[in-house]
């Protein structure tokens, strides 16, 4: 394996950070936040166990991977090889639009980090909780920085950013978990980067959208395992002007900023920028839903009073969720802003029980969705990625009254992060679909005190059903 050179200073800096990060280097408040994020992601994964696409994926892989029983498929008593388990468990976390999101980096972090990292912890059985948390923080810090480097244009041009960026988060955590030195870590990132893919057209109804995070987690695991055994990757995976990640997955050289890759390592913690969801839909919809809740609290209005609803937001919001709703399945329902607005106003909630296949074609929701108009606000776009979820919501009533509110960030965001009680409550709702309460309680206790565990693989043991 060759040494890093001057043409890969950013890739090498990322590798150095990943290889050298220690539990003691991370501020207490960051570690406390990380444990809550881990709890939330695992709850999402347990809820995803019984979803149709998870079951299809699980049954398909069980049929082709009959001889391996290395890693648990969460919420079951079935096992597969590490890469296949990571693929399924990542799919389960991202399977119902419930999991975390780094708004500026435009990615779901837990869904790509935890399946691969827990597969290593489960296999090794000698990784303590502090080592696990240090490995996790490597992934939570690296992926969002790649997203900041690429900017919101990355998703606007059609890449599913969680999938493309996610390979680096997964590879970073796995490399740290395997104690790879900086050079092998560099190659792990380079192997992961060449596997990066994911197309946003999947959002219009395809089940494969659910699988993107699992595939990214799997790719990062492959990168670290191969690099551990001297397999080499692209050493300048970020910098290469021809065929590099940034130059290839961006429209032009001036659309990405390599300095973001190592900006603030050890000082500014991107983990604190990861937001949680309290609606079962894509994160770009949440500010609008919060705005409507607040408007209804201030001035209760009936559905019969509504003439039109106008939502103005960033170009990313327009492209991502502002399209005309067509009933093509639950994926499109959960990603479409107009449908989710209608769901909230009719049902009073927009969580897991409000999204069923039977409701995708619901005439009342579709009729109300047609009254929702989504507009691009150039001023919001000009504010940059920090404000990409900012919206102005206007409800025009038939009596000529207009209700107006601007919302910058939703509940659960880095600006309005949820309480531990709210996160535990959400976890209990989701995990109860799979596990008994006594097992849920032990899982919560273990995750929130992870640093005390002698064997981090114990977390996986507590997700197995009898």
What would the two tokens of residue 296 be?
């209804």
Half-sphere exposure of 110 (CA within 13 A, CB side): 27
The boundaries of the domain holding residue 256 are 6-275
Half-sphere exposure of 51 (CA within 13 A, CB side): 32
Strand segments, DSSP code E, in 58-132 are 71-72, 79-80, 101-102
Half-sphere exposure of 145 (CA within 13 A, CB side): 30
Asked if residue 368 and residue 308 are part of one domain, the reply reads yes
Asked if residue 14 and residue 116 are part of one domain, the reply reads yes
Q: Mean of the per-residue pLDDT values for the chain?
A: 95
415 in any annotated domain: no
Pairing of strands 306-313, 372-376: parallel
pLDDT of residue 294: 97
Where residue 124 sits, what CATH number does that domain have? Answer: 1.10.4100.10
212 in any annotated domain: yes
Res. 233 pLDDT band, cuts 50 70 90: very high
Asked if residue 293 and residue 232 are part of one domain, the reply reads no
**How far is residue 12's CA from residue 4's CA, in Å, rounded to a whole number?**
7
How many domains does the chain divide into? 2
The pLDDT tens digits for 45-103 are 999 999 999 999 999 999 999 888 999 999 999 999 999 999 999 999 999 999 999 98
Most confident listed range (1-15, 253-267, 268-282, 409-423):
268-282
pLDDT of residue 6: 58
Asked if residue 352 and residue 263 are part of one domain, the reply reads no
Asked if residue 261 and residue 351 are part of one domain, the reply reads no
Asked if residue 287 and residue 188 are part of one domain, the reply reads no
Q: What are the angstrom distances between the C-alpha of 17 and each of 5, 21, 141? A: 17, 6, 10
The pLDDT tens digits for 419-446 are 999 999 999 999 999 999 999 999 999 9
425 in any annotated domain: no
Asked if residue 343 and residue 270 are part of one domain, the reply reads no
The pTM assigned to this predicted structure is 0.92
298 in any annotated domain: yes
**How far is residue 46's CA from residue 434's CA, in Å, rounded to a whole number?**
6
Least confident range from 5-14, 134-143, 294-303, 317-326: namely 5-14
Asked if residue 54 and residue 28 are part of one domain, the reply reads yes
B/e letters for 84-102, b = 16+ CB within 10 Å, e = fewer, are: bbbbbbbbbbbbbbbbbbb
User: How many residues does this entry show for the chain?
Assistant: 466
Where residue 305 sits, what CATH number does that domain have? Answer: 3.30.1330.120
Asked if residue 311 and residue 223 are part of one domain, the reply reads no
């Amino acid at each position: 394996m060759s040494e890093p050179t001057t043409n890969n200073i950013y890739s090498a800096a990322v590798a150095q950070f990943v290889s050298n990060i220690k539990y003691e280097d991370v501020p207490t408040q960051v570690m406390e936040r990380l444990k809550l994020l881990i709890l939330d992601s695992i709850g999402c994964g347990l809820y995803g166990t019984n979803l149709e696409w998870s079951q299809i994926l699980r049954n398909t892989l069980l049929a082709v991977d009959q001889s391996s029983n290395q890693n648990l498929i969460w919420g079951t008593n079935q096992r597969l090889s590490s890469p296949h388990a990571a693929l399924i468990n990542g799919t389960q976390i991202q399977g119902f639009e419930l999991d975390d999101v780094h708004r500026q980096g435009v990615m779901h972090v837990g869904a790509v980090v935890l399946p691969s990292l827990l597969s290593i912890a489960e296999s090794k059985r000698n990784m303590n909780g502090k080592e696990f948390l240090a490995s996790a923080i490597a992934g939570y810090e690296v992926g969002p920085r790649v997203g900041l480097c690429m900017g919101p244009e990355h998703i606007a041009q059609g890449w599913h950013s969680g999938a493309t960026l996610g390979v680096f988060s997964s590879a970073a955590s796995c490399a740290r978990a395997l104690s790879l030195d900086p050079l092998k870590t560099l190659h792990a990132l380079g192997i992961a980067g060449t596997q990066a893919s994911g197309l946003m057209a999947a959002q219009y109804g395809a089940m494969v959208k659910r699988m993107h995070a699992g595939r990214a987690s799997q790719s990062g695991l492959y990168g670290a395992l191969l690099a551990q055994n001297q397999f080499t990757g692209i050493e300048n995976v970020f910098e290469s002007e021809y065929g590099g990640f940034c130059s290839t997955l961006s429209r032009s050289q001036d659309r990405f900023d390599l300095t973001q890759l190592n900006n603030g390592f050890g000082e500014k913690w991107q983990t604190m920028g990861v937001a949680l969801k309290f609606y079962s839909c894509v994160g770009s919809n949440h500010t609008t839903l919060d705005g409507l809740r607040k408007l209804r609290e201030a001035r209760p209005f009936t559905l019969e009073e509504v003439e039109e609803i106008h939502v103005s937001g960033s170009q990313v919001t327009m492209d991502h969720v502002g399209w005309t709703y067509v009933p093509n399945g639950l994926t499109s329902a959960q990603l479409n802003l107009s449908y989710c607005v209608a769901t909230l106003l009719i049902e009073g909630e927009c969580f897991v029980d409000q999204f069923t296949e039977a409701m995708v074609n619901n005439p009342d929701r579709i009729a109300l969705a047609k009254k929702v108009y989504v507009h691009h606000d150039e001023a919001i776009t000009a504010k940059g990625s920090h404000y990409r979820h900012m919206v102005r919501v206007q409800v025009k009533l038939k009596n000529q009254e207009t209700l107006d509110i601007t919302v910058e960030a939703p509940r659960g965001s880095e600006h309005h992060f949820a309480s531990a009680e709210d996160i535990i409550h959400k976890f209990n709702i989701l995990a109860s679909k799979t596990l008994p309460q006594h097992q849920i309680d032990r899982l919560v206790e273990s995750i929130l005190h992870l640093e005390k565990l002698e064997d981090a693989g114990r977390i996986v043991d507590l997700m197995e059903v009898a």
